[in-house]
């Protein structure tokens, strides 16, 4: 069951505590994933399965990494960290099914992405979120507007520091992933 509605500021602060080298692009990616879910990554189920299989094969199991991290303000959409998942499950079949079902159940709108991004910008302008350089935020906002709020990759520093390896799922599948059993 999802947690009570939290604010975008709470979500950003949570992730910034975990990942202090986050840049504007990484916050935007967080917002985008929380609204749009995994669907933008799935051009075909076969291709998605193949890419997940390749990444899962290379993942080194890690029991100390968080299994899940919320990416939506209402905690209904999560990242599942593949290294933590692989520590608990030697195969990814259940994860694959959960991702595909999540993609079918989310119908995010770019207008919501824009709205949440502008909430983030306003929080930075008001000094509520002080860990970001406002000039960089405004420059990235101009880029987002020019490119009509596309899906993006993590920043280079984020990729180097944290080696992100995760997939997006709905909160309803988390108990299945934690136990490995279908309800």
Residue at 3 is within a domain: no
Mean pLDDT, residues 76-100: 92
Q: What are the pLDDT digits (tens) for 131-166?
A: 899 999 999 999 999 999 999 999 999 999 999 999
What's the pTM? 0.90
Q: How many domains does the chain have?
A: 1
Residue at 72 is within a domain: yes
Predicted pLDDT at 182: 43
Contact 142, 117 (CB under 8 A): no
Contact 79, 69 (CB under 8 A): yes
Q: What are the pLDDT digits (tens) for 11-22?
A: 999 999 999 999
Domain range spanning residue 91?
Answer: 8-179
Which two tokens mark 124?
């930075």
Residue at 84 is within a domain: yes
Nearest to 74 by CA among 41, 116, 104, 28: 116
Residue at 141 is within a domain: yes
Residue at 1 is within a domain: no
Q: What are the pLDDT digits (tens) for 93-132?
A: 889 999 989 888 887 899 999 999 999 999 999 999 998 9
């Amino acid at each position: 069951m999802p947690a009570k509605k939290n604010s975008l500021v709470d979500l950003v602060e949570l992730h910034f505590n975990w990942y202090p080298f986050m840049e504007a692009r990484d916050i935007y990616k967080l917002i985008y994933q929380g609204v749009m879910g995994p669907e933008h990554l799935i051009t075909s189920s076969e291709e998605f399965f193949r890419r997940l299989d390749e990444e899962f094969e290379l993942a080194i199991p890690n029991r100390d990494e968080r299994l899940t991290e919320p990416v939506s303000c209402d905690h209904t959409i999560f990242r599942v960290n593949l290294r933590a998942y692989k520590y608990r499950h030697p195969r990814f079949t259940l994860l694959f099914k959960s991702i595909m079902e999540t993609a079918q159940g989310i119908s995010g709108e770019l207008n919501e992405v824009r709205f949440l991004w502008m909430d983030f910008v306003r929080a930075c302008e008001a000094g509520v979120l002080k860990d970001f350089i406002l000039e960089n935020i405004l420059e990235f906002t101009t880029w987002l507007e020019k490119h009509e709020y596309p899906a993006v990759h993590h920043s280079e520093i984020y990729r180097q520091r944290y080696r992100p390896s995760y997939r997006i799922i709905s909160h309803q599948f988390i108990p299945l992933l934690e136990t490995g059993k279908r309800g």
